[in-house]
Structure 1
């Protein structure tokens, strides 16, 4: 981290609003595997559930259309669609339009990063046709694309036909041999650039394509009137120099904003293994001097500027465990990181050999686990199973029950993360050593597994071997996390009453026990709904309500303050605090909201 500290020390420290997602792309000649590597942190706020499934290839009847968000274009379905692995983000109000990842059976991966805000006027209805396209842009690319470049071409066709609804976004389209970034402006303007085979690209949440060679159609795909439109809008003046797509189309408030530049400095410092900072702008990509290892990509996605001036103790101490993720400073691994993945592509003709290292939340707290999407994500982690096609059809619809707590493997990993956040500073160093040791063991076994699979001509037997190993990895990981949780010494927390109506005005009493003469500090107590931002949605108890009763401590919280999910059901709440010696503690309590009485 010394290189990151040095690079960041050269930037001006200003707090930044949270923006979503970070992606790292390693070209095939910059990769030790000879294939492309893509790392991605999916960052989304609110109470969300992440599910995984496989949607099989299918033939479709004439006249069939894709379900869409209310008011968006109903796009005609293709006669045939590829099968694909699907990572879904969904909350009570419905599935997200801009979050899901896909990997299809042609070996094409689709992930995305917000690039809000662009300069385009979102009130200008003429930029869209039939309501425009949102979620279905990524879906159509996954269902129809045969290669990374083809995914861009499919996406461009959709953009020119319907127009893009959101302000701005980058879609990374990758296969084993190449990767592209399609950077989209609301409406019909876009610029796509090929990531060179020897390049490594890093993108936070702004446009990164700068100069464009309009004659190089092998490496650039752009909207026909890209420059003329910018001139017409007053966003570009040829007298000021060469056309810069990012500079012309990015909103001024986001151009070189600190929430993006901090991440770019840190990401490129780790990629190049040298201090990397820019006063004017960051490049689209760099050419590393040596191959970029998978572990290096994981290191980037785990980064929260630890040890630098952007990770001050005073900012952390607003939280019981001194955790860094929910502070005002935007980090690569942040409070809204719902899933992190590193996709290590296998051979194009054998997509089942692709390894997707998945982390069920923040990789600074949870391990990456190697899975093989086309062999099925293990049922122990709560996959969609055979319901994936049906769930895709209703992705955009509300689902109040999905926000409630569920007893499954994915939730167990998230529960550990919620608890660890409350005792982060005390246990971080030991836990970090465990993470690296555990993942090193997984990496060795994954290498041995891939060697065995490569020697098999029978693909069904190879898939069975991969599937068996994936199930074992999931079971072992859940057991290992269970053991790690014991080391955190969670406190027992209960609520009285344990349920109330959503419109209740009563106060709820939370009770917990501490040992060894520990006395909680009322000012440090904080209650959070699992999976939400502690700074923005943390709940403080009623002032002066802390009491010692029969060997336990009690504190009162207003029921109205607990109502963060907005729907009835049973939810996990996490109580954290510090004692008189500054030592942190935390524990979980379930609480149920019933329907409103009126």
Structure 2
């Protein structure tokens, strides 16, 4: 099967009682293009004297914005010519958002409620929602109102969290949507399919939905099931693409956290929610987003046969532009309890750097306004370079990269522990967040730049044009 050229991501959401430290976790790979630089920025809190209207450069979507905007982190692209694509962030109120997980609706649904060409799309979502909400639930409500009234240009999944709740929001058509709160003791892995299953319209605590969702489905005879209301069945697809491109990633994620459950990677009936057999950490979510079917015949750099190694699309692959895990720990102030873990480039060959949510300054390399092409001043390209060098001689060079990744994970943990112990005595949490974040970011860049020089040196004698001369001749 030829792999489609889709812009497609992988997401994970974890409730607070399913994590090792009681924090909530949402994470996603942003997958689109193999060479498309990303930046990391801070938008400061600001108030406008007059109402401001957002204008999308991608499709003409417009929306009048509130005059008060909260501070938030974001990862925009190197150019706004195709839209902002801020993708992910944490705001000053301790709300995290990741947008979007591309999904696909069936023809029957879209025939009844087509997508809106100038409706809201991925490139605008974080920008017009995250600065204006004070809880994850409020984020769902704001985005839901926009989709219901302005329409959506794409079918997408969107992740929201605060220190108490985690929500997954799915756009099923031009104006129809549903959102489900992830139970505190559960996790979910999503991979480019409609994921939400049974919707309980009597439970407004754990579900939200578009105003006429039930009536829309009834009037248009869209429910294929004899009983119940399964959003995935009604709005989703069950295509060959799902079988080879999407469901195997969900299978592998559930295999990581529930290895005792026997499932098939091509199953169309993998559940949306699972209770993990163990508690989950931010590092575990990073490992999932960096995975490529290790330990199975489907690993493209593993020991399986050639058919198996290229049968399924892996989580982490060349078109990953950045990966993020947004962690919110309510036992600390948001400035320190919120951590925006950011991996530039391919997660499997990069490192997840912890940036504390309270930061007001970003190291220059991470926000460098680079063009499209390689530039050594850009953090994105510094991490990407190492991946490219390793790819050329993967099995010879992956060891040194793995060693540096492990070393950095240990250093990050030390930085986080030291920073959180200083919270009680600090009178300037922003300065504390800046200092710790810069320390982690500078360390990551320094180690990867050193690693790059070592990999170049090690590669010098690995050319296919090499000739091993017999010195006895």
Common fold: TM-score over 0.5: yes
Counterpart position of 1:538: none
Is 1:109 aligned with 2:96? yes
Greater mean deviation of Cα atoms: 403-412 or 198-207: 403-412
Contact 2:93–2:334 (8 Å) recurs in 1: yes
Structure 1 residues 300-311: aligned runs within 5 Å = 300-311=288-299
- How far 1:489 sits from its partner (Å)? 2.9
- How far 1:338 sits from its partner (Å)? 1.1
Contact 1:86–1:101 (8 Å) recurs in 2: yes
- How far 1:101 sits from its partner (Å)? 1.3
- How far 1:484 sits from its partner (Å)? 1.6
Structure 1 residues 519-598: aligned runs within 5 Å = 519-520=464-465
Structure 1 residues 467-546: aligned runs within 5 Å = 467-489=434-456, 515=461, 519-520=464-465
Output the CA distance in 2 between the equivalents of 1:358 and 1:188.
32
Counterpart position of 1:382: 366
- How far 1:215 sits from its partner (Å)? 0.3
The structure richer in strand per residue is: 1
- Kindly tell me: are residues 129 and 39 of structure 1, through their superposed partners in 2, closer, same or farther at Cα, counting changes over 3 Å? closer
Output the CA distance in 1 between the equivalents of 2:166 and 2:182.
6
Secondary structure at 2:90's aligned position in 1? Answer: strand
Contact 2:136–2:165 (8 Å) recurs in 1: yes
- Kindly tell me: are residues 457 and 471 of structure 1, through their superposed partners in 2, closer, same or farther at Cα, counting changes over 3 Å? closer
Counterpart position of 1:220: 207
Contact 2:23–2:328 (8 Å) recurs in 1: yes
| TM-score in terms of structure 2 length | 0.87
Counterpart position of 2:106: 119
Is 1:361 aligned with 2:324? no
Structure 1 residues 336-375: aligned runs within 5 Å = 336-347=319-330, 350-353=333-336, 354-375=338-359
- Kindly tell me: are residues 255 and 482 of structure 1, through their superposed partners in 2, closer, same or farther at Cα, counting changes over 3 Å? closer
- How far 1:170 sits from its partner (Å)? 0.5
Root mean square deviation, CA, Å = 3.1
Structure 1 residues 51-450: aligned runs within 5 Å = 51-69=39-57, 71-91=59-79, 93-95=81-83, 97=85, 100-119=87-106, 127=114, 131-134=118-121, 135-166=123-154, 168-238=155-225, 240-253=226-239, 256-277=242-263, 279-311=267-299, 329-347=312-330, 350-353=333-336, 354-376=338-360, 378-383=362-367, 402-410=371-379, 411-450=381-420
- How far 1:71 sits from its partner (Å)? 4.8
The size of the alignment, in residue pairs, is 460
- How far 1:287 sits from its partner (Å)? 1.6
- How far 1:258 sits from its partner (Å)? 2.3
Contact 1:380–1:475 (8 Å) recurs in 2: no
- How far 1:161 sits from its partner (Å)? 1.0
Output the CA distance in 1 between the equivalents of 2:118 and 2:109.
12
Is 1:464 aligned with 2:436? no
- How far 1:434 sits from its partner (Å)? 3.4
Contact 1:423–1:488 (8 Å) recurs in 2: no
Larger radius of gyration: 1
Contact 1:48–1:91 (8 Å) recurs in 2: no
Contact 2:9–2:28 (8 Å) recurs in 1: yes
Provide structure 1 residue ranges, at least 5 long, that are not aligned to the other structure.
1-13, 319-323, 385-390, 392-400, 493-513, 521-578, 582-598
Output the CA distance in 2 between the equivalents of 1:463 and 1:29.
28
Secondary structure at 2:189's aligned position in 1? Answer: strand
Output the CA distance in 1 between the equivalents of 2:403 and 2:35.
30
- Kindly tell me: are residues 130 and 288 of structure 1, through their superposed partners in 2, closer, same or farther at Cα, counting changes over 3 Å? closer
CA shift digits 1:62-98 (9 cap, x unpaired): 453112135533211212222211111245843355x
Secondary structure at 2:158's aligned position in 1? Answer: strand
Output the CA distance in 2 between the equivalents of 1:481 and 1:51.
17
Contact 1:413–1:481 (8 Å) recurs in 2: yes
- Kindly tell me: are residues 146 and 118 of structure 1, through their superposed partners in 2, closer, same or farther at Cα, counting changes over 3 Å? same
Output the CA distance in 2 between the equivalents of 1:444 and 1:105.
24
Output the CA distance in 2 between the equivalents of 1:476 and 1:137.
32
- How far 1:24 sits from its partner (Å)? 1.3
Counterpart position of 1:541: none
Contact 1:113–1:205 (8 Å) recurs in 2: no
Secondary structure at 2:346's aligned position in 1? Answer: coil
Contact 1:377–1:383 (8 Å) recurs in 2: no
- How far 1:219 sits from its partner (Å)? 0.4
